[in-house]
Structure 1
Amino acid sequence: MNDRRLIFTGFVTDIELKWLYQNARLSVYVSMDEGYGMPPLESLALGTPVVVSDIDVMRENLGIHATYADPTDVASIAQAMTYEASTELTQERIQSLRAHGSSLTWAQVVSSIRHAAEEFVND
C-alpha cells in the first residue's frame, strides 16, 4: 500500500511516538483482546482521536471519547476510520480528548490492572 495518509511505523522511540500522535489525524488501535489499552489513552492525551476495538476494556476506559469498530470486520474498521477522518476536529473536541486521556493517573491504572488480575485469579 502506497497511501501517504497511512503510516506503518514498526518500532518508534517515545519522542517519535509523541510526534506521531501530535501530527496524526487519528490513531487506530484494533485488537481482539486487550489488557488495558494504553496507546489509545496516550493518543487522546495528545488530542488525537482514536478508532478502537468495540471490546469491554475500551468502552470502560474510553467511553464516548472514541469511535468503535468490530475488530473482526474490515468494513467496520474502514467505516469507523472514514467517519472519524471526516468528523470536524474542533478545539473544543481536542480539549475534551486531552482531558479524558490525561484524566487517569498511574495509581488509577495500577489499581485497575490489580483489580482485573484479582478477578481473573478468583474466577
Structure 2
Amino acid sequence: MTEFVLPLPATPSVAVAGSHERFAVRRIFCVGRNYAAHARELGNDERDPPFFFTKPADAVVDSGATIPYPPLTANLHHEIELVAAIGNAGFRIARDEALAHVWGYAVGIDLTRRDLQDQAKKAARPWD
C-alpha cells in the first residue's frame, strides 16, 4: 500500500439537489469569450473565437460557503455561469448524441482576480 507524506485532500464535489449524494468533480473546463457583450466589456475584440481553459477541481465550493476575499486583489469579478456536469466519457461525439453525455446542469459563480489576470496577460504569462 502506498503511504503519502501528507494526507490526501478530499475529493472535490458538489451537492446534488434533492439528494444526499454528491457529484465528484474531476476537471473544470471553461469557455472564454463566448459572449460578445462581455468580450467588449473587457476590451477584447468580439470577433475573436471562443477559447477553452481549465480551473482546478478544488476551486469548487459548496453553495452558501464563505469565501475569504483573496489578498493582493483589488478587483475581484464575479460572473454567473451555466454548469454542465458530464457523466459519460466520450470522444468525437456526434452532435445528436452529445446530450446523452450530460449528467445534469447547475448554476455556478465564477470568481476572477481581474487585476492580477490583467497583469499576467500584459506580461504574456499564464494566470491561475
Do both proteins adopt the same fold according to a TM-score greater than 0.5, normalized to the shorter chain?
Answer: no
Given the two structures, how large is their TM-score scaled by the length of structure 2? 0.25
More helix by share: 1
Given the two structures, how large is their TM-score scaled by the length of structure 1? 0.26
More strand by share: 2
Q: Considering only CA atoms, is the larger Rg found in Structure 1 or Structure 2?
A: 2
